[in-house]
Structure 1
């Protein structure tokens, strides 16, 4: 079915949706708790304070140059909790509660790592061992070079796009689509800053990125069984059953909203606010009004989700010395 007349309108709707999200991104990313960050950390267990004031700066300063999501030497990324627990080519980097079984501790305690760099001090080693023994709590979404000094200042969070490597992995884990070849062809190369590629000051967004994300969103959505994806992430069983039928179902407005809610909550790693859901619903209605069936409606909405700020951006904040941020549950789980 020809849907060309709606494409221009769709582009405007996606742009409007992006503006709405950009305006609320800082509050959402940290659960409206930025101003209370220091108090939250002060009330946290000692192990959480240790991570934010000692371990995060230590990893940023001594490890991320070789083991962030972009460099990932030996297959090891130490910038995110799930990646640390998964480990690299040799196995899990950290086994919570068991320093002696944690490869990170084994390499550091024997001075094998950091490679070709001075070994960690005795105090740094003791902090690392204590943190692992306490269960290796991880209270920040992503570590980056800006945390190396441990002197973070509370304030407005910085927006950074995903690195090319992070984008490829995010698409793979969120949709199951392998997009590496196309992403490396279409996306501008990451610029390194201070030896790192995953910091806000090296990861701005220009027109080239916007255009590339739009093209990649179309490619990704075109390779997906959109109805199956929507069924997998349906918010309730009746909707899941309806989407799992042999023919594309006709969804009423409420069912369509619930369908969009389930898909976007998965792709954006957390709950939506009313404005975000309304923006997606407008995109879907525009396609439906042009005669699109349910699969086409959801495919266009999926494209909007895949190029939205909540999919391609991450938030960073400058923190106060000795401070940290309280991270909402959906971020810790992502």
Structure 2
């Protein structure tokens, strides 16, 4: 009888032990969709940087690496490593390689997500390619030559 009770407990507990309750470190983020129109510093790029807590280190009187991400001008100017953005040319912008290679944000960022996803990277690239300005101006970047 004791063996039967032990077997019943084992059968009852085993399925419960296999239930996946999810990753306790997972932080759900809203789905990012690349907009059809122009990219906005305030509505798109700055929001992505904030969602990844980049502004936790890169703001204030003494921002990390000398790079202040609270304004579009500060983002473009960069910091100790030089200009972060080449307006109209994301392919030659230092920040693009930092974000694509997941060099930033660092692992120890408090509460931040490690890497930008593909949609977030596309938004940052497009903003740079559109002129990297606080307010979009279609005349900023020359039309690509064909």
TM class by shorter chain equals 0.5 to 0.7
2:52 matches 1:56: no
The structure, 1 or 2, with the larger RCO (C-alpha pairs under 8 Å, 6+ apart) is 1
Q: Aligned residue for 1:136?
A: 132
Q: Return 5+ residue gaps in structure 2 as ranges.
A: 1-36, 108-112, 136-146
Aligned to 1:119: 115
Q: Which residue of structure 2 aligns with residue 87 of structure 1?
A: 78
Q: Deviations over 1:303-332 (max 9, x none)?
A: xxxxxxxxxxxxxxxxxxxxxxxxxxxxxx
1:65 touches 1:71 (CA, 8 Å); kept in 2? Answer: no
Write out aligned runs for 1:1-334 (5 A).
46-48=37-39, 50-62=40-52, 63-116=54-107, 117-139=113-135
Larger radius of gyration: 2
Change (3 A) 1:82 1:55: closer
SS for the counterpart of 2:47 is helix
Change (3 A) 1:81 1:55: closer
Structure with more helix by fraction: 1
1:19-38 deviation digits (Å, cap 9, x = unpaired)? xxxxxxxxxxxxxxxxxxxx
Structure-2 separation of matches of 1:95 and 1:119: 22
The two structures, once aligned, show a CA RMSD in angstroms of: 2.0
Query: Mind listing any 5+ residue stretches in structure 1 that lack a counterpart?
Result: 1-45, 140-334
Aligned residues: 94
Following superposition, the deviation at residue 82 of structure 1 comes to 2.7
Displacement of 1:95? 1.2
- Which residue of 2 is the match for residue 9 of structure 1? none
1:242 aligns to what?
none
Shift of 1:94: 1.2
Q: Deviations over 1:58-93 (max 9, x none)?
A: 122221011113351111111123322321110111
